[in-house]
Amino acid sequence: MNVESQLDLNQERLRTLEKMKKLLPIVVGAELKVGEAAYADGALTAKQKRLIALGVALGRGCTNCILGQTMRSLEAGATSDELLETLGVAIAIGGTMGMAESMRVVKLLEEMGKL
């Protein structure tokens, strides 16, 4: 069985993002600035916003978004338990699609030694 590494996929995502910053500096730079504003602490903390974004990414089935928001949630201080509860909400809303996409987060957390 050939199982893809979520850590490898995340590294490829980061490598490609760096390339896109060079190829489309104005557009990518503007998008990153929107993200900085959107995820800044406010009425909700950056961690809460990242967990919300992860739930949205799971619902949309966006692999790069799922990996990125999982990593950014962890960087913002989210625990494995908080991530798992976010997966639970995505499964409750998305059914089997939510569960299928949530498996990627479980695999990533396993690879990182967090589960």
**What residue ranges do the domains of the chain occupy?**
6-111
Nearest to 49 by CA among 75, 27, 13: 75
From first to last of the 115 residues of the chain, give the pLDDT tens digit: 668 999 999 999 999 999 999 999 999 999 999 999 999 999 999 999 999 999 999 999 999 999 999 999 999 999 999 999 999 999 999 999 999 999 999 999 999 999 9
Which pTM was predicted?
0.93
> Distance between CA 67 and CA 11 in Å, rounded?
10
Backbone Cα Rg of the chain: 14
The fold of 6-111 is: AhpD-like (1.20.1290)
